[in-house]
Amino acid sequence: MIHLDALPKGDSAVISKFSGMDATIRRLREIGFYEGGRVRLKAKMFFWGPIVVEVGALSVALRRVEAHCILVTKDSEK
Amino acid sequence: MIPTLALVGAPNSGKTSLFNWLTGSKFKTVNYPGATVESHVGFGLPIYGTPFRAVDTPGLYSLIAEARDEHVTVEVLSQADVSKIILVMDATQLERHLLLAVQLKELKVPFVVALTMSDMSGAQKVDVAQLQKLLGRPVVLIDGRLGGGVKDLVQKIFADFESEPENYDFKLDLMKQDVVQQTELARSIGKKVYAAPPKSLESKLDAWFLYSHFSLLFFVLTMAVLFTCVFFLAAPFMDMVDALFSWTSGLALSLIGENLFGRFVSTGVIEGTGAVLVFVPQIFILFLLLGFLEESGYLARASTLIDRPLQAVGLSGRSFVPILSGFACAVPAVMATRNLRSPRERWIAVFILPFMTCSARLPVYALLLAFLFFGEPAWKPGVTLAAIYFASLLVGGIAALILHKILKSNSNAHFMMELPPYRWPRPWLILRAAVRKTFSYVRKAGPTIFVFVLILWSLTHLPYDSSLNQSEQLASSYMGQVGHHIEPFFKPMGLDWRAGVSLGAAFVAREVFVSSMAVIFNLTDVDENSMQDRLLGQMQQATFADGTPIFTFASVTAMIVFFMLALQCLSTTGVTIREMGSWKFGLIQLVTLNVAAYVLAVATFQILS
């Protein structure tokens, strides 16, 4: 299990669990992250900017600190 | 007993607008994820024939969740009096929204699917018959904007009421599959009923507009166009509004005659109305362009690009557009902060917006810089003006950083941004939204601004004495009297009562400072072109009672510092109070910024003189 912000660019994974502040986790759920959901890391913005993640059919940009609250299992680990 | 229908669905699925169609309720449909925090209850409108109750619940993606808000939904569904569930899914977001359908199906609870269309073209691609078959539940298409299909939905719900038991058991532990299996199932259903548009175009465009170095160039260009339009394109329209109200004001004065009532109607009521409406062109143009950028899908990308530097001062990429707009005018800029999701971020952004060098400061700086660099080459005031622009951004950044450090940060600014697909903007929709926002400004902020303007009018025009000319009238007004008495207050800034009164009058709009100075130095009947030269001459000769000159390098620089920091704009305060829904916020900001401006202006004068 790794944090979403550590996922290499282009890799897919499944969300295992969340860890972090309640408010952050709530926002993550609202925007469409949930346990069991599939994610793919599309890109990391320059200068330590946000990362772009594909969740379902949708692209979401989020900060690395927020992505750090999402723990994922890489497809290869299953 | 009246049957109860519970509306369940993902955030932004169109649940609240369906609820409004069902109940005619006045609950606002808020257009961002997580708008419904509590559940709302309403009664079905008589037009649907059968009496029922409807409950709106907080949006959620999955029934298996730990977050507090989502528990409300599970609790509502577990209540014995809920007889049927309406599952709301957005046709364009089907893949994410199907998980709930899979879970409800597994729990064997009675539900009907309301498939909303946020985008007509997206809905047409869904195979409704196939979806109905795979879920084994009725599916009804709903047009959230016009209410189409709602009647059909209610009929479907009550049609199969007879065939199903009224009560059901809602127990989450009845679920046998885990969420990963359910997600897979939802995905497979999604693939069968909905052909997702190819993502290759989006990826290609993102490669250009989001990830490449070209993206930064494009960002700068787009924002330059946005700023230019709000600043320059709006100017002729603002001049037209201005001219129209000056003309009407003059007409009213000549019709009523030169008396207190005539003055009140012409310079108070009519010009006060003008003070509200003069912002309409800027607000309309800003929201038109913002709507265009948002609809096209670019605004989300632009915010993503600029997020990192703004994160450092407690803001996010979403704050960029309001801050940029602040360089044209703080009034539309304050309204543009509606897009900010985090209340804390919005608080900081609105607080620092008045620091940005708005267009109303330009005539003031033009006068003061012309005084400072009298007879010197033109590039000097030019460079200084550029420095003022940059400094205002710096001051805003520092202020944001201070607020970021002192404000409790249990709700840090988040940056999670859906990147919607690129698409051609729909002009009609954008136009309608811009018109609606402009009207909301006139209706909501208008009265507050108008009242402020009338108060200031009373201070500068009363008590009325018809034997005095305009200059003497201003000098003997309440503002003038107070100005005389508190000259010691302006003295540390190096100013006399006349400059002080002009600073006070400028609260109606900063550029009023220039005309007010002209009035108080008795330069009313000269044409505009020669006015600045005459005024500069008067300023150079003006002295205190002891003969020392008033307007010096030190005092004029202090005034520039004052104008950079002071919130001398009651329109901004008016719109801020309405937008933030708090008098307290508006007044705290008004006092803080002006005290800070005064203190720093005094310090500037004392150091330089």
Taking 3-state DSSP, the helix, strand and coil percentages for chain B, each rounded to the nearest 5, stand at 65, 5, 25
> What is the rounded CA–CA span in Å between residue B594 and residue B562?
8
Residues B215-243 have a mean pLDDT of 86
Q: Integer distance in angstroms from the first to the last C-alpha of chain A? A: 10
Residues 6+ apart with CB under 8 A from B551: B371, B499, B539, B540, B542
Instruction: Quick: pLDDT tens for A21-31.
Output: 877 887 787 77
Pair A77, A18: CB distance under 8 Å: no
Number of other CB atoms surrounding residue B581 within 10 Å: 8
**C-beta atoms of B416 and A61 within 8 A:** yes
Tokens of B234: 């709006």
For residue A52, give the H/E element and its range.
strand A51-55
Of A29, A59, A61, the CB nearest to B61: A29
- Residue from B95, B96, B126 whose CB has the most chain A CBs within 10 Å, to mutate: B96
> What is the rounded CA–CA span in Å between residue B266 and residue B469?
17
Q: What is the mean pLDDT of chain B?
A: 82
pLDDT above 70 for B451: yes
Rounded to 5 degrees, what are φ and ψ at B358? -80, 165
Closest residue in A to B181 (Cα) is: A36
Please state, in angstroms and as integers, the Cα–Cα distance from residue B384 to each residue in B365, B366, B379, B563, B606, following that order.
10, 11, 8, 14, 21
Q: Is B206 on the interface with A (CB under 8 A)?
A: yes
> What is the rounded CA–CA span in Å between residue B189 and residue B196?
12
In terms of phi and psi (left: phi > 0; alpha: psi -120 to 50; beta: otherwise), the region of B34 is left
> What is the rounded CA–CA span in Å between residue B387 and residue B561?
12
Q: Does a cis peptide bond (omega within 30 degrees of 0) precede residue A50?
A: no
**C-beta atoms of B67 and A26 within 8 A:** yes
Say whether B551 sits in a helix, a strand or coil. coil
Pair B18, B116: CB distance under 8 Å: yes
Q: Is B96 on the interface with A (CB under 8 A)?
A: yes
Pair B242, B249: CB distance under 8 Å: no
Closest residue in A to B307 (Cα) is: A49
Q: Is B484 on the interface with A (CB under 8 A)?
A: no
In 3D space, the residue among B98, B60, B90 whose CA is nearest the CA of residue A30 turns out to be: B60
- Residues of chain A contacting B196 with CB distance shorter than 8 Å: 57
pLDDT above 60 for B365: yes
Residues A63-73 have a mean pLDDT of 92
Give B401 or B537, the one with higher predicted confidence.
B401
- Residue from A15, A31, A66 whose CB has the most chain B CBs within 10 Å, to mutate: A31
Rounded to 5 degrees, what are φ and ψ at B116? -90, 155
Residues B279-285 have a mean pLDDT of 85
Work out the burial of residue B529: count CB atoms within 10 Å of its CB; fewer than 13 is exposed, 13-18 middle, 19 or more buried: exposed
Residues B317-339 have a mean pLDDT of 86
pLDDT above 90 for B409: no
Pair B567, B506: CB distance under 8 Å: no
Q: What pLDDT, on a 0 to 100 scale, did the predictor assign at position B82?
A: 78
**C-beta atoms of A24 and B211 within 8 A:** no
In 3D space, the residue among B460, B545, B537, B540 whose CA is nearest the CA of residue B501 turns out to be: B460
Work out the burial of residue B1: count CB atoms within 10 Å of its CB; fewer than 13 is exposed, 13-18 middle, 19 or more buried: exposed
8-state DSSP, B91? G
Residues B586-608 have a mean pLDDT of 94
> What is the rounded CA–CA span in Å between residue B404 and residue B351?
11
Tell me the ipTM for this assembly. Answer: 0.91
- Residues of chain A contacting B62 with CB distance shorter than 8 Å: 34-36
Q: Is B69 on the interface with A (CB under 8 A)?
A: yes
Residues B472-494 have a mean pLDDT of 82
Residues B38-65 have a mean pLDDT of 78
Q: What pLDDT, on a 0 to 100 scale, did the predictor assign at position B70?
A: 55
Q: What pLDDT, on a 0 to 100 scale, did the predictor assign at position B164?
A: 60
> What is the rounded CA–CA span in Å between residue B86 and residue B154?
10
> What is the rounded CA–CA span in Å between residue B478 and residue B476?
7
CA angle B67, B70, B76 (to 5 degrees): 145
- Residues of chain A contacting B415 with CB distance shorter than 8 Å: 50, 61-63, 66
For residue B54, give the H/E element and its range.
strand B53-56
Pair B582, B574: CB distance under 8 Å: no
Instruction: Quick: pLDDT tens for B503-562.
Output: 888 887 888 888 778 777 776 555 666 677 788 888 888 888 788 888 999 999 999 999
- Residues of chain B contacting A24 with CB distance shorter than 8 Å: 412, 414
